[in-house]
Amino acid sequence: MVRVPVSTPDGWTRESRIATAPPHTTTTTTNLNPSSTIMPITKSKPRPGSDNASSLSDLGARIIHYVQAGYPGLYLVSPEEQRVEAELKAVTEHLNAIMDKTDKTKYALCYWSVVDGLVNTETKQVINANDPLELLQAISEHKEKAVILLKDFHLFLQDPNPILVRKLKDVLLEAKTKQKTLIVVGCRLVLPPELEREITVVEFALPGKEALRGVLHGIMESAGIKGLAVEQQEKAVDAASGLTTIEAENAFALSFVQTRIIEPSVVAREKAQAVKKSGLLEIIETRESLDSIGGLDVMKDWLLKRRNAFTQRAVDYGLPPAKGLLIIGIAGTGKSLSAKVTAQVFGVPLLKLDAGRLYGGLVGQSEANLRSVIQTAEAIAPCCLWLDELEKGLAGSKSSGSTDGGTSARVLGSLLSWMSEKTAPVFVVATANDVSQLPPELLRAGRWDSMFFVDLPNVEERQAIWTIQIRKHGRNPADFDPVQLARASEGLTGSEIEAVFVESLYDAFDRDTQPTDLDIARALTDFVPLSKTMAKQINALRTWATGRARCATSPALSERRLRKFAA
């Protein structure tokens, strides 16, 4: 809910925003207002005979099909009750408009909430059935054909009362023959297994660009913003993609209050916070670029070749959409760093998924979490979706069935099928250390555009990493000898090189001087690298990767290295 800040310009109140913004964006009234105009989510051609009805989105058309096919129960997963209301209003209007002329009975649109009871939006008749059991009784006594939106009903489906489940089953069975469709709306999916077959789950996608443009124009009108360049408007709409209509409206309003214009960076910052609230996704801001990575030349070339993959030019050229990249390798060799850089190369936002948090305790919650992640990523698209330490998120899917009732296997299945079918420009970049934990279907040929293996850095790569790390920590590489440091640090990963340099910084700081090659050499002597302590695992990973994944470093470099060593 927007609080209008004290510094709001005269005459611009929340109420005026409500009056001027499209209804689906800021309908604060709990009652549906049948006379209000509806802003379609996606405009589509009106159906024959439906000239007076509101335009219908693809989802609206799907709901119509469900209603016509006699589906008694639908579950719309969406945090946007107002958009759902508007959509169902359009649905009912269309249903009535396309009805057989000989059929005199029209579909009624009713809604229910614990506070308002059951309200018929046409006749304004209210039945004070505030309890879910009373509601079901009222629905069963309802004579007309109806689309009934149930607002708070999902809250009663968590650990449901057996009487409620039985009654709901009976009402659904009856509704099938009486042309009544019950539509539960909830911000999350709560469906006990007893009702899974009775109720069809329908995803309600986040608003598309067209709808967000409507929200922006509403705010511009309310705030009296004139002359905002179309390019700036589009940037603001892009920055808001992935938000609900209310969140977008709030972000635009905040931006106006803070900057007196609509500033995309303010909207983007608000979006980062809104996305983070879900606990599953985070928008990562990164300043890293290809120059921040030492070595890994093959992978860098591969990425560079795809830098325009998300442009219209690539689409016009007929390039198939880029699917994703899997980076496998030894810990600390720059896999996460490369994932961050991928988004920077493509020039798109980076969304990091905390795969471990996908899993929820309730039945179906993990799948619902994945669906919400996909929805957000597709709404923000073009973007990179980063699955870090993939094996940790999918742990259990190999032995699934015995350990977690098949949840991780189902989540993996949904992820894989989305990856192979997705049309939205979402590039998946995944990283993993331990392939033995990864389910084989994830490693199947063709699953990814490429699978790269990142080995310990060779001498030339170490030299580049030393230079990068010295510079990164505010020192001049010319004051050191990166060639010698590279030779002295064989077997160290990039992150170990960084750790050694930081160690020498601490030493020097303690002595109130600046670090020298000698300090680094001392720190190196005490350092035990992972390549020593985990030599067996590293060799096993190398053996696995041979022939399965592309080496992120070109063999030419290794040959040159060999020649250098031989000399």
Ligand X SMILES: Nc1ncnc2c1ncn2[C@@H]1O[C@H](COP(=O)(O)OP(=O)(O)OP(=O)(O)O)[C@@H](O)[C@H]1O
Burial class (CB in 10 A: 0-12, 13-18, 19+), 224: exposed
**Residue 458 binding ligand X, by CB under 6 A:** no
Span interacting with ligand X, options 222-230, 242-250, 261-269, 324-332, rule CB under 6 A: 324-332
Report in angstroms how near the CB of residue 359 gets to Mg ion at its nearest.
Answer: 20
Which partner from the list ligand X, Mg ion, none does 409 bind, CB cut-off 5 to 8 Å by kind? Answer: none
Give the count of residues interacting with ligand X (CB under 6 A). Answer: 19
Taking CB within 5 to 8 Å according to partner kind, which of Mg ion, ligand X, none is near residue 502? none
- For every residue of 512-564, DSSP letters joined together read TS---HHHHHHHHHH---HHHHTHHHHHHHHHHHTTTSEESS-HHHHHHHHHH
Task: Evaluate whether 400 touches 414 at the Cβ level (below 8 Å).
Answer: no
| Residues 335 to 354 in contact with ligand X, rule: CB under 6 A | 335-337
**Is 433 a binder of ligand X (CB under 6 A)?**
yes
CB of 335: closest distance to Mg ion in angstroms?
A: 5
Interaction of residue 465 with ligand X, rule CB under 6 A: yes
332 binds, among Mg ion, ligand X, none (CB under 5 to 8 A by kind): ligand X
Rounded distance between C-alpha atoms, residue 94 and residue 109, angstroms: 12
Smallest distance, ligand X to C-beta of residue 308, A: 24
Question: Exposure string (b/e) for 347-381, b if CB count within 10 Å is 16 or more?
Answer: ebbbbbbbbeebbbeebbbbbbbbbbbbbbbbbbb
- Supply the DSSP string of 151-162, one letter for each residue: SSGGGGSSS--H
Q: Does residue 531 belong to the site contacting ligand X (CB under 6 A)? A: no
Residue in 23, 332, 515, 529 binding ligand X, rule: CB under 6 A: 332
Choose the contact partner of 337 out of Mg ion, ligand X, none; CB within 5 to 8 A by kind: ligand X
Phi then psi for residue 385, to 5 deg, are: -105, 115
Q: How many residues does the chain have?
A: 567
The reply to whether 391 sits near ligand X by the rule CB under 6 A is no
Shortest distance (Å) from residue 265 CB to Mg ion: 28
Which CB sits closer to ligand X, 207 or 332? 332
* Cβ proximity of 146 and 91 under 8 Å: no
Instruction: State in angstroms the smallest separation of the CB of 121 from ligand X.
Output: 54
Applying CB under 6 A, does 23 fall inside the site for ligand X? no
Q: Which of 498, 500, 515, 551 binds ligand X (CB under 6 A)?
A: 498
Least distance to ligand X, CB of residue 540, Å = 15
The distance between the two most distant Cα atoms of the chain, rounded to a whole number of Å, is 95
293 binds ligand X (CB under 6 A): yes
3-state secondary structure string, 75-134? EEECCCHHHHHHHHHHHHHHHHHCCCCCCCCCCEEEEEECCCEEEECCCCCEECCCCHHH
Query: Which of residues 289 and 417 has its CB atom nearest to ligand X in the complex?
Result: 289
What x/- string results for residues 246 through 285 when contact with ligand X is judged by CB under 6 A? ----------------------------------------
CA 406 to each of CA 70, 94, 158, 367, 525: distance values in angstroms, whole numbers, following the listed order: 32, 41, 21, 11, 48
Q: Which residues bind ligand X (CB under 6 A)?
A: 293-296, 329, 331-337, 431, 433, 465, 468, 494-495, 498
